Homo-oligomer: A and B are copies of this chain.
Amino acid sequence: MTTSRPGGPDPRPGERGDLFDPDCPTRRLLDRVGTKWTSMVVKVLAREAPGELRFADLRRRVPGVSQKMLSVTLRSLVRDGLVARRVEPTVPPAVHYRLTELGLSLEEPLSALRVWAETHMSAIDRNNRLADESAVD
């Protein structure tokens, strides 16, 4: 999978993205970072920062995440340079994860969205039930 623009040159260093440009990688980036799993992993690692957590510790602190989904989420965060992965050459090897500086900068906007969702959850849940009750089709 490439993240550079399908129809154009790679973004220049420092170039600003544009979500409204269909060819801009910002679109895929937003869909990666806007998920519940990214939000939870970043929050848990931000609490530990600048420290790190092992995979099993991370998994215990993100209730409900499967081993596979946590692996996929971490691999994507590492590829984006938001999380750093450190393998300790023990037997078996211990793998540690921590937020990079860039990853730490993501916590503030994710936190704002998380707080909004938690604050308005019950009103929106009620809207959902009202909409489903009044649905005629």
- A interface with B by C-beta (< 8 Å): 2-4, 10-22, 24-31, 33-36, 39-40, 62-64, 78-82, 102, 105-106, 108-110, 112-129, 131-132
Contacts and interface: CB of A to CB of B under 8 A. Distances in A.
- Chain A binding surface SS class: helix
Given A11-B125, A30-B35, A128-B3, A20 B63 contact: yes
A108 B21 CA distance: 21
Contact of A132 (B2, B39, B62): B2
A37 B102 CA distance: 24
Contacts of A24: 121
Among A36, A40, A102, A121, residue most surrounded by chain B Cβ atoms (within 10 Å): A121
Contacts of A105: 116, 120
